[in-house]
Structure 1
């Protein structure tokens, strides 16, 4: 194992901005019951408690992996947090002291709900939920069961528990964990929340609606439809209105029956995976891709807002700070491009020069692609759905831009550079012809049942797509399916194709912590690589047909796998340690592996003389 000490990626402050505390986007937010504090958790593993009065951080706690949920106890004296390190931590709000650590659930913890100041429910990626006694740390003898990942849990004022998961059910439980009812009509739900009066349950679902359900399972109302994924919901204290966060960079305030949209907040930095409503009804809090959560002041609604045809109040929200987390790398002809949280692309050229390109219009850059044979041509895609092409030699801003409805996961040029394919969060792969001035759509592939996370051009006629539906597809460039690759037990994050000894080999990386190697032309499974102890986020074959694979993981490490093509056994594995957060993307610059992460570091690894191990140096930040 080889490690390197390099400066940690920074959180940058915009002119005139307020306090910041996170080095990466926030995954979860919550107000205290009396509204005097709010809490946030993020990809950086930090838990931050803030004073509502002045928005300053009061204290910061740490998890070893990303944080998925923060919730205040009913009294407001305690804060619970949980995440991908498989533990729940309970903090004293007054001073941040750790008062309990609950650690007997075997997989990522996704969400929490307090039943009282002494009892806490936690649900897990393994499809189970458990109830703990806080203080004693006793795990109660009851299991809340789903048949797939359990994503959310909430307790009503009367103590009724609701949980939802990727098994397309919402399940109701008594306070002691006794099952009461299964609600099947809502589909896959990301979040469920009881109204404060306990009369209704809101669930954000994958059909583009928020379903509002009565405890008996009757559908009371539907809010939508949304074209982007609906991720989060929060009730007003009088149970009359519902705030909804979606992956279109909006938070929208609706009447409970869904008849009218009252307010619409829009901001390219808004990442509404989580939101919450203050007890006085005046403020919403929402997660962002910047250095701090966003407080949204709820306006006094004018009288004419009650009219049936009234337009919602529209409010544009600007980011006050940003982070330098890296989301994607592209390498070509000795140049390296990195798409970042701060809405910029960092570019390092083979001649040693570096550029900072603010192309995202305030939204994080999720994908970058340098064009084969023309590395001055750069394509990018953003969380807000923007796709653009830049001529770096001209230096006059984007040559061409188009905007879609959904977050962009990946953009890749064809080998000849005359086509650009774009994958989005909703599962479409769109291929465009590029004539040097504009993009024109020529095909669409919609064969996956989940989002397309990654894809690669195999040659001028074939593409491999990688999806959250646990599969990879080999398709013709005109969008005809050739074959599927299956076997992963979780979503597939990344894929890479190479040709070794006359055989085309596909590597796929999954949240199930494995890498699978397939014969691309026959579908044969060649090998399963096991070593990372968290989700494998990225893979890349070394160019030139070498049997050497680079991987990066949520476990903060990269790995270089040396393989024997005779039987695809592993000859050796070298572990690259130098990141302070998950590795989000990997690439090769010639013989050198490159890793990038949400800590803002981009590291180039060189083989050290002598023992043949790897040492690294960090790319310097381009001048702004």
Structure 2
């Protein structure tokens, strides 16, 4: 007899379209949602702090613990790797804010250096005092939470940078993706990024650097999302407007040599009907990844070599664009998706 799959746990926040979600690296049942009014086109934003608790028979239930209002829409979110109650948000007005969920009103710090929408933030899980931001202004910036200004600025692309993501293996390696169809990998150990001998950094918000160690021509259209594989060094996945998820092997390229172009595509995953907005590898299995798409579905795939790339599951209760998905860091197989329909779904594919 076939098992009956438990229904997803659903949290609805009317009036706010979700753009991103992030599971806490400290609390097993906590996640955060970054949301915007009017689909992010105009109006304010909201940061939601949510609890996801297990129920009977494999079910889960969600609860909204608290929320924070912001003056502009929120596009991304990242939990701190050093403070269990802190997280950063990326905003449509070009600002970045640091929040403490034990406080009830204002952020504890704010930065305003990007000149256009900040579309991603990522906290390094190796250099735990550092996070990165990327923006439609083409820049990637590195930050330390206690500093009033960014510590490094890179001209990552000459067009909108949708995501910047630290490698889970190398603390000084960062990958980006852009409207120009490329994925670029930066090695911060190269000379141009090194600090001055007298102390301090050699760049600020006015003098960006551009020194990609590897450029991957990933697509003829916009690349909207990337993610590093958690088990295979220098393997990452990309996805975007071409409706395909692709897995790239970059290990044949020697890191640190500026100007390399390459990367070998080892897998292409076809099935989405519209652009893929988010891609994420499982933190528990090397072959499992999830995608979220404008076709209103979240899909789960395997790249296991013994059976070949396959679509395993389609999650389709959402009624608007599905723009983010995220695997639980502590509970194997638990996946969350969020959508412009104002709903967060937590389920087991």
Measured in 1, the distance between the counterparts of 2:288 and 2:221 equals: 24
Provide the residue aligned with 1:344 in structure 2.
46
Q: Provide the secondary structure at the position in 2 that maps to 1:569.
A: coil
Aligned CA distance change for structure 1 residues 461 and 10 (closer, same or farther; 3 Å):
closer
- CA displacement 1:277-332 (0-9 Å, x = unmatched): xxxxxxxxxxxxxxxxxxxxxxxxxxxxxxxxxxxxxxxxxxxxxx2110111122
**Residue 464, structure 1, aligned to residue 201, structure 2:** no
Offset, 1:394: 4.2
Q: Relative CO higher for 1 or 2, CA cutoff 8 Å, sep ≥ 6? A: 2
Offset, 1:360: 1.8
**Residue 330, structure 1, aligned to residue 60, structure 2:** no
Provide the residue aligned with 1:447 in structure 2.
156
Maintained 8 Å contact 1:9/1:324: no
Measured in 1, the distance between the counterparts of 2:143 and 2:8 equals: 43
- CA displacement 1:421-467 (0-9 Å, x = unmatched): 111111100111223xx443111111312211112110421111011
Q: Provide the secondary structure at the position in 1 that maps to 2:116.
A: coil
**Residue 372, structure 1, aligned to residue 91, structure 2:** no
Q: Which structure is higher in strand share?
A: 1
Query: Which of 91, 109, 131 pairs up with 1:400?
Result: 109
Measured in 2, the distance between the counterparts of 1:340 and 1:541 equals: 23
**Residue 544, structure 1, aligned to residue 284, structure 2:** yes
Provide the residue aligned with 1:414 in structure 2.
124
Aligned CA distance change for structure 1 residues 571 and 326 (closer, same or farther; 3 Å):
same
Offset, 1:503: 4.0
Offset, 1:569: 2.4
Query: Which of 145, 159, 162 pairs up with 1:434?
Result: 145
Query: Which of 274, 286, 300 pairs up with 1:560?
Result: 300
**Residue 594, structure 1, aligned to residue 289, structure 2:** no
Maintained 8 Å contact 2:11/2:63: no
Q: Which has the larger displacement, 368-377 or 461-470?
A: 368-377
Maintained 8 Å contact 2:118/2:136: yes
Measured in 2, the distance between the counterparts of 1:462 and 1:354 equals: 36
Aligned CA distance change for structure 1 residues 350 and 556 (closer, same or farther; 3 Å):
closer
Provide the residue aligned with 1:493 in structure 2.
224
**Residue 389, structure 1, aligned to residue 120, structure 2:** no
Maintained 8 Å contact 2:79/2:123: yes
Q: Which has the larger displacement, 568-577 or 426-435?
A: 568-577
Aligned CA distance change for structure 1 residues 330 and 390 (closer, same or farther; 3 Å):
same
Measured in 2, the distance between the counterparts of 1:430 and 1:5 equals: 37
**Residue 476, structure 1, aligned to residue 187, structure 2:** yes
Measured in 1, the distance between the counterparts of 2:347 and 2:216 equals: 31
Q: Provide the secondary structure at the position in 1 that maps to 2:85.
A: strand
**Residue 529, structure 1, aligned to residue 279, structure 2:** no
Q: Provide the secondary structure at the position in 2 that maps to 1:581.
A: coil
Measured in 1, the distance between the counterparts of 2:327 and 2:243 equals: 22
Maintained 8 Å contact 2:297/2:318: yes
Measured in 2, the distance between the counterparts of 1:576 and 1:3 equals: 13
Maintained 8 Å contact 1:360/1:386: no
Alignment gaps of 5+ in structure 2: 38-44, 54-61, 194-208, 253-262
- Equivalence map 1:135-146=2 (5 Å): none
- Equivalence map 1:191-340=2 (5 Å): 323-333=15-25, 334=28, 335-340=30-35
Maintained 8 Å contact 2:32/2:48: yes
Aligned CA distance change for structure 1 residues 398 and 536 (closer, same or farther; 3 Å):
same
- CA displacement 1:13-36 (0-9 Å, x = unmatched): xxxxxxxxxxxxxxxxxxxxxxxx
Measured in 2, the distance between the counterparts of 1:368 and 1:572 equals: 28
Offset, 1:349: 3.9
What is the TM-score when the length of structure 2 is the normalising length?
Answer: 0.76
Provide the residue aligned with 2:67 in structure 1.
357
Provide the residue aligned with 2:256 in structure 1.
none
Q: Which has the larger displacement, 526-535 or 539-548?
A: 539-548
Measured in 2, the distance between the counterparts of 1:578 and 1:6 equals: 11
Bigger radius of gyration: 1
Provide the residue aligned with 2:239 in structure 1.
509
Maintained 8 Å contact 1:593/1:605: yes
Q: Provide the secondary structure at the position in 2 that maps to 1:488.
A: coil
Offset, 1:9: 4.7
Q: Which has the larger displacement, 414-423 or 574-583?
A: 414-423
Maintained 8 Å contact 1:5/1:578: no
Measured in 1, the distance between the counterparts of 2:84 and 2:242 equals: 35
Offset, 1:348: 1.7
Measured in 2, the distance between the counterparts of 1:605 and 1:6 equals: 6
